[in-house]
Amino acid sequence: MTDENDSTKQAASGDFPAAMKPAEMAVLVALQRDLLALMRNTVNAAETFLEKALAVLQGHLGAQGLLVLQHDGQWAERASINSRFVGRFDESQLKRVIDTQRAVFLPDVPAETWAQVLVPLSNHEVLVLAGRKFDSDDLPLLEQAGGFLEDCRQTLDGLAQLQLTSHQQAAAAANEQTVRIERMRKETELVGESDFLSTFREQIEALTQLEFPLCLAGEAGTGKRAIGRALHWRKSDSSGLLAEFSAGSSDGWNEIRAIASDPQRGTLLLTNVELLNADQQDELLQLLRSAEFVESSRRRTWLIVTTTADLQREVDEKRFQESLYRRLTVCSLKIPALQSRSDDVLPLAQHFMQQAFRATGRSVPELSHAACEALLQHSWPGNVAELQTVMERLVWRGSGDTINANDLLTELKWIRLSAPSEEFATLSDATIEFQRDYIRAAISKARGNMTEAARMLGLHRTNFYRKMHQLEMVEAGSTPQAAFDS
């Protein structure tokens, strides 16, 4: 009762018309209180608020019938309680209420309608209240009641819009994240057709279900980091962060601690793990031990480590902790050298070349048959990293529409286009074979134009043919075209 009296005093101070009686102000205070309570209870179901609010108004105002009419070309009922007591309504009076935004009292018409009060709610809605006891003195009270009702509705509409906006933003963020993950999955797609990659693709789903560390071992440049990234972006819960650190650097070790202790941070890719010093090995071991006690309902940070060393030998020589080694190698994957993955060479070469040329806005050239053979015959001591460098450097060499073997000579240093022999060739034989390959590459780059090929090699055309005969590239009397086809 105290709250109600306080509210009544507040209303009398200016919130309600000064001429309003205390009893009427008390009715409005109670009505406002109940409407606010109803609004709180229906904040997530705004569409049901209007009908429930009419029941609240009916209880406080003594109306036999209530009707909310909406004008959209013509008048139509939006919500009602006991609409039969309202009877018929005068459209001209409804228009008057909308135009003036003032309430109108209509006396009862015997055998047709009870007394009506038309209260504007908005520019296109009118609240009609019908009852035997209404008269013109009730207009201020009913206008205030209609204002309370409309304020609550606008507040709910605003909250609903905020919720809609929030849902839309959440949906947009989720969609953006989905697009990002799909883009990263595409960008980290592993290129190649070797048996190793075929088997690896079959194992990806099983590998991404791991909760314990994964060790990727192999020579420098074999693509261990690329495989680690591919695994991360194919995890079903890969929305977390992919953080990469080199064990050979002390920078970022504090962040490694933070990520390892936060299951929401995703995947930690730690490269060159053999370079961890003794203190770092101790700390990483403790982080792994503490992670074993994380609740199963929480996703753990996934640790992927790479190494170019033989960790077992590092353990044997007391440079790497055996306990840490055993935890890191519960699941390990050996990445073979590129030389043993010949089916990956050409797809990777095409991939790197396309990336490099498109990044500069240039059209992507084709690899000639001789260039393909050169790539396949190279031993690739630097593995995939070396292949990427070779293909990227072709951009600034000014290659034409076709990449020929000659374009690769400077990059590869040595190309053997012929099949490798089981016996090691003498230096003289190797020199002869190199000259033959070099001349063939020049002819290929010159598109069969022997004069141009001779010019490229710094030879007169006659001396060019003589050199070819000396190298037994053509038989006596053969045509230049025959030399090109040899």
Q: Which residue has the tokens 């030399």?
A: 483
The CATH architecture that domain 200-336 belongs to is 3-Layer(aba) Sandwich (3.40)
342 CB-contact burial (10 Å; exposed 0-12 / middle 13-18 / buried 19+):
middle
Whether the predicted pLDDT of 363 surpasses 80:
yes
Whether the predicted pLDDT of 233 surpasses 50:
yes
Q: What pLDDT shows up at residue 413?
A: 58
Q: What pLDDT shows up at residue 109?
A: 79
* CA distance to 33, 40, 150, per residue, from 36 (Å): 5, 6, 12
Ranges 8-17, 202-211, 336-345, 382-391: which has the least confidence: 8-17
Whether the predicted pLDDT of 415 surpasses 50:
no
Return the higher-pLDDT residue of 153 and 297.
Answer: 153
Q: What pLDDT shows up at residue 261?
A: 65
Q: Which residues partner with 362 through β-bridges?
A: none
Q: In the predicted model, what is the mean pLDDT of residues 328-354? A: 93
Q: What pLDDT shows up at residue 485?
A: 32
CATH 3.40.50.300 residue ranges of the chain are 200-336
CATH 1.10.8.60 residue ranges of the chain are 340-485
Whether the predicted pLDDT of 4 surpasses 50:
no
Return the higher-pLDDT residue of 483 and 169.
Answer: 169
- Residue % of the chain over a pLDDT of 70: 80
Q: In the predicted model, what is the mean pLDDT of residues 150-171? A: 83
Give the CATH fold of the 340-485 domain. Helicase, Ruva Protein; domain 3 (1.10.8)
CATH 3.30.450.40 residue ranges of the chain are 2-161
Q: How are strands ordered across the β-sheet holding 125-131? A: 75-81, 65-71, 125-131, 115-120, 104-106
Q: In the predicted model, what is the mean pLDDT of residues 87-106? A: 91
Q: What pLDDT shows up at residue 374?
A: 87
Return the higher-pLDDT residue of 283 and 481.
Answer: 283
Confidence label for 221 from pLDDT (cuts 50, 70 and 90): very high
- Average pLDDT of the chain? 80
**104-128 pLDDT per residue, tens:** 999 987 767 789 999 999 999 999 9
Ranges 14-23, 148-157, 212-221, 359-368: which has the least confidence: 14-23
Q: In the predicted model, what is the mean pLDDT of residues 446-452? A: 79
Q: In the predicted model, what is the mean pLDDT of residues 205-227? A: 90
Confidence label for 200 from pLDDT (cuts 50, 70 and 90): very high
- Nearest partner of 337 among 380, 373, 378, judged by Cα: 380
Please say whether the dihedral angle defined by the alpha carbons of residues 163, 166, 168 and 171, taken in this order, is positive or negative. Answer: negative
**239-266 pLDDT per residue, tens:** 566 678 887 676 677 777 777 666 566 7
CA pair distance 190, 188, nearest whole angstrom:
6
**63-91 pLDDT per residue, tens:** 999 999 999 889 999 999 998 888 887 89
Return the higher-pLDDT residue of 50 and 243.
Answer: 50
Q: In the predicted model, what is the mean pLDDT of residues 267-294? A: 84
Give the CATH fold of the 2-161 domain. Beta-Lactamase (3.30.450)
Q: What pLDDT shows up at residue 243?
A: 76
Q: What pLDDT shows up at residue 46?
A: 63
Whether the predicted pLDDT of 212 surpasses 60:
yes
CA pair distance 426, 375, nearest whole angstrom:
23
Asked whether the whole model's pTM tops 0.85, one would answer: no
Q: In the predicted model, what is the mean pLDDT of residues 426-433? A: 61
Return the higher-pLDDT residue of 137 and 484.
Answer: 137
125: phi then psi, degrees, rounded to nearest 5: -135, 145
Q: In the predicted model, what is the mean pLDDT of residues 282-305? A: 74
Q: What pLDDT shows up at residue 302?
A: 84
Contact assessment for residue 51 and residue 83, using Cβ atoms and an 8 Å cutoff = no
Q: In the predicted model, what is the mean pLDDT of residues 143-158? A: 89
